[in-house]
Structure 1
Amino acid sequence: MTADSVLGLVFDRWGMDVAATSGGASAYIDAWNAGLAEAISNLGEPGFPETLERALRQLVAFEMMNGFAYSPGGKAFDLHNERIVGDRVTIVDHYLAGAYILDPFYDAVRNAKLDGGVLVMRRLAPDRFTETEYFRRHYQATGIVDEIGFILKLPHVDAVLSLSRIGDVPGFSRRDIARLESAAPIVRALAERHWRARFDPPREEDDAAATISHPLLSKRELEIVTLILKGHSTYSLAATLGLSPNTVKVHRRQAYAKLSISSQAELFHLFLSRR
């Protein structure tokens, strides 16, 4: 795909919006188109991510754009984390060390819940996600209040390019989400073209994927403690696994007794605190 054909896709996509406005394109569409032109001129160059980020800011406000890639075997890799806002150790290092297995975006990619190529955290997170130790350590500790991601299909991996709201700001509005969903085909086409040639994941056998495992726990107990760590309530666990709530409670009690723990925080510490 040449730069001219990419530009054609851009303006075909937005043509109806422009024509529908009484005085031509609204200001944000003018700015978005100008930003896209700059991003396209930087395709394949080190400056592309920054120019794409600037273009996206013409659609919605956000504080950080970053990305991770996930192999079919379950390993996570650094795709784009050059402009991290806040604590890089938590947002990148701890995440890649194993915390990613609790990320709803990771689950969505692994389970092919692509939702049109756009992932919205509030739609994916389990019902008790905000009560998890992962949420406390990754979101509360870093000030991330909301997140939306674009799915990228790259050779050998799927990736997510995320936009995050950070600090004392509201989450993404329905209008923000609608704008990003409308722009997704263009954003994904450009980002996939850029990173397809620039991202080469390490060989998977060099480093095993993170897992939740313990020799004392049965397969069912491991499923339950993993879903607890991800933020599922008893009733969500029951629905997910096709069990009764009472059966879930029995398995949870047995797992906690075998591990000599009594809380989700202790469970997190046992499996993930060193990652």
Structure 2
Amino acid sequence: MSSAATSNTQTPSFDVWNASLGAAASAIGSHEFPDALAAALRLLSPFQMMNGFLYSPDGNAFDLYNERIVAKRSVIVDRYLAGAFVLDPFYDAVRNDSSERMIVMRDLAPDDFAETEYFRLHYATTEIVDEIGFVLKLESNFVGVLSLSRTGIAPLFSDEDLKRLRAAAPVVCALGERHWFHVPSLSLNSKTASPASKIEHPLLTKRELEIVTLILKGHSTLSLASVLSLSPNTVKVHRRQVYAKLNISSQAELFRLFLA
């Protein structure tokens, strides 16, 4: 993910911004709320897609807001909820610390994230080029992330875009939390959800599973060594042993073995 381009978006006037926030606040609890919120946010920075996922305290993922996604739903939503979410840097970020109100994908993604099968299947397929997320604290310690994405040939969010969005994050999160705090049918979904996806295999040791997980998330050998306090050569040895035990020779095969 390369550096952001310069933004041509201007900060909206105080009266226009207040009017847009008022429209969003008035729509809380109705189907019109997401569109009203998106309209307000587009005054700060253009984007092509707004969607969201919800994470439970035990590590499961649920659909928060993906109503606008139709053609690519099997990639963006279904495959994600089936288990790919465990590789999402946003998932890791809110599981480790949900205190941030806005998170930026390129600040969180590991150094080789763009080389992963997850990136190829989720980002390249959907043509997402940049993404930010607003963190929502909901009932029963569930955490939601409402994402804004730029797709196709759109430039990355600029520093000015991010500054405006981050300044608006407290009010955006407050509105989102009020609207989605009691997520419809969440109790039913929670009871019927399958166990949280995990990277596990009977042939691999705990250390080897850590290596596999970090590889799939997009950490290079040097990054793996830093995260696990190992030497790069030791990481390479572990990686060769993992591939030998699993009888595979590529990350694509590793991904299909654990998260196909």
Is 1:117–2:101 an aligned residue pair? yes
SS in 2 for 1:210: coil
TM-score w.r.t. length of structure 2: 0.91
SS at match of 2:145: strand
Aligned to 2:225: 238
1:197 aligns with 2:182: yes
Q: Which amino acid aligns with 1:47?
A: E
Give the TM-score normalised by the residue count of structure 1. Answer: 0.86
How far has the Cα of 1:228 moved from its partner?
0.2
1:64, 1:163 within 8 Å by CA — same for their partners in 2?
yes
Structure 2 contact 139–182 (Cα < 8 Å) conserved: no
Bigger relative CO (Cα 8 Å, ≥ 6 apart): 2
- In 2, are the aligned partners of 1:32 and 1:56 still within 8 Å (CA)? no
Kept in 2, the 8 Å contact 1:64–1:85? The answer is no
Cα gap change, 1:107 to 1:26, in 2 (>3 Å): closer
Change (3 A) 1:27 1:225: closer
Q: Select the residue among 68, 71, 75 that pairs with 2:60.
A: 75
Tell me what 1:3 maps to.
Answer: none
Conserved 8 A contact 1:44-1:197: no
Asked if 1:213 corresponds to 2:187, the answer is no
Q: Which residue number corresponds to residue 18 of structure 2? A: 33
Matched residue type, 1:179: R
Separation in 1, partners of 2:96, 2:107 = 15
Q: Retained in 1: the 8 A contact 2:52–2:65?
A: yes
Pairing 1:138-157 to 2, within 5 Å after superposition: 138-156=122-140, 157=142
Matched residues in 2 for 1:166 and 1:155: separation? Answer: 31
- Against the structure 1 CA distance between its residues 107 and 136, is the aligned structure 2 distance closer, same or farther, given a 3 Å change threshold? same
Q: Calculate the aligned-residue CA RMSD, in Å.
A: 1.6
Q: Secondary structure at the match of 2:20?
A: helix
**Does the aligned pair in 1 maintain the 2:138–2:182 contact within 8 Å?**
no
Count the aligned residue pairs. 248
Aligned partner letter, 1:144: I
Change (3 A) 1:27 1:109: closer
Counterpart for residue 4 of structure 2: none
Which residue of structure 2 lines up, in the alignment, with residue 263 of structure 1? 250
The CA deviation at 1:204 is 4.9
> Could you tell me how far apart the structure 2 residues matched to 1:146 and 1:28 are?
26
1:92 pairs with 73, 77, 87, which one? 77
Does the aligned pair in 2 maintain the 1:86–1:142 contact within 8 Å?
Answer: no
Looking at structure 2, the residues matched to 250 and 81 of structure 1 have their Cα atoms a distance apart, in angstroms, of 42
- Counterpart CA distance in 1 for 2:207 and 2:107 is 26
Structure 1 residue 166 corresponds to structure 2 residue 166: no
Q: Does 1:182 align with 2:167?
A: yes
> In terms of Rg, which structure is larger?
1
Shift in Å, 1:206: 3.6
Paired letter, 2:161: D
**More deviation in 192-201 or 231-240?**
192-201
The question of whether the paired residues in 1 share the 8 Å contact of 2:12 and 2:44 is answered with no
Query: Match for residue 235 of structure 2?
Result: 248
Mapped to 2, the partners of 1:172 and 1:123 lie a distance apart of: 12
Whichever residue aligns with residue 143 of structure 2, its letter is D
Q: Distance in 2 between matches of 1:227 and 1:163?
A: 25
Question: Retained in 2: the 8 A contact 1:28–1:58?
Answer: no
